[in-house]
Amino acid sequence: MLMPNGPAANVGLELQAKAGVHTPVSACASGAEAVGYALEMIRSNRADIIVSGGVEAAVHQLPMAGFAAMKALSTRNDDPARASRPYDVDRDGFVLGEGGGVLILEEYEHAKARGAKIYCEIAGQGLTSDGYHIAAPDPDGAGVQRAIKFALRDSNLSTKDIFHLNAHATSTPAGDVAEANALRAALGSDADHVAVSATKSMTGHLLGGAGAIESVFLVKAIQDRMAPPTINIDNLDPAVTIDVVRDKPRALPAGDIAALNDSFGFGGHNVVLVFKSL
């Protein structure tokens, strides 16, 4: 029996959760949407503290065959460690990974009262859909641009406040450029001071777990003031006009900063989360 809500249900049972147990299903944006849903539960006073995140274990013959039939996977089987190469001119598809990430979201005063260690603030989210194609990204990136706009508005922030971004960038020929163009269009000239990381170059694509673990990476980047690298770029695609953090980590500025996590899924789902320092 296939039970997509199984992981959330079991965590809820273990913790005796009473505010509700929910499982957003939006393909590769599912983990990020779960974090955004948790934010809204706290904002609406449905809960004070929530376990949120995403996980997927899809390294199995059936999903592998499906992605292979779509020609979505990299065929660099001779050098798998270097096969996931977002933004490289010779990228040829994603590398399927397994894993997940969990964030504990908590109402600020509730967290302070119990002496919790607070890493940063989740400030807002933006959700849109492309209405374009079941699997291909909208080359104009209009849905992504709107999601960024909505996320910034929800956070009461502007493009000038953003200094880091963890991109969805899966290492597909069309997807990486479409996203990069959308980021440049949405952020305008302020994109020049945004350090962009594509951590799927190191983890592979975790599908429903991607947006969650990449939110964890973003939180740690804000806490440590260090943007993680994008590896395996031998030749940056000239069509990519954003500032990609290549090869080694890059220091982020001191003071108040905010960062974005982009997640997109088959079906045209777009989720952008905003985190900021405290």
Residue 190 exposed, middle or buried by CB count within 10 Å (0-12, 13-18, 19+): middle
Name the DSSP class of 130.
-
Residue 178 exposed, middle or buried by CB count within 10 Å (0-12, 13-18, 19+): buried
Identify whether the C-beta of residue 137 lies closer than 8 Å to the C-beta of residue 75.
no
**Residue position matching structure tokens 């804000």:** 222
Catalytic annotation, pick one of 110, 133, 164, 168: 168
Name the phi and psi angles at 179, rounded to 5: -65, -45
The Cα–Cα gap between 175 and 172 comes to 5
Find the radius of gyration of the CA atoms of the chain: 18
28 contact partners, CB below 8 Å, separation of at least 6: 168, 170, 205, 207, 208, 210, 211, 263, 264, 265, 266, 269
Catalytic annotation, pick one of 120, 164, 205, 269: 205
- Residue 205 catalytic? yes
Catalytic annotation, pick one of 28, 120, 164, 269: 28
The residues annotated as belonging to the active site are 28, 168, 205
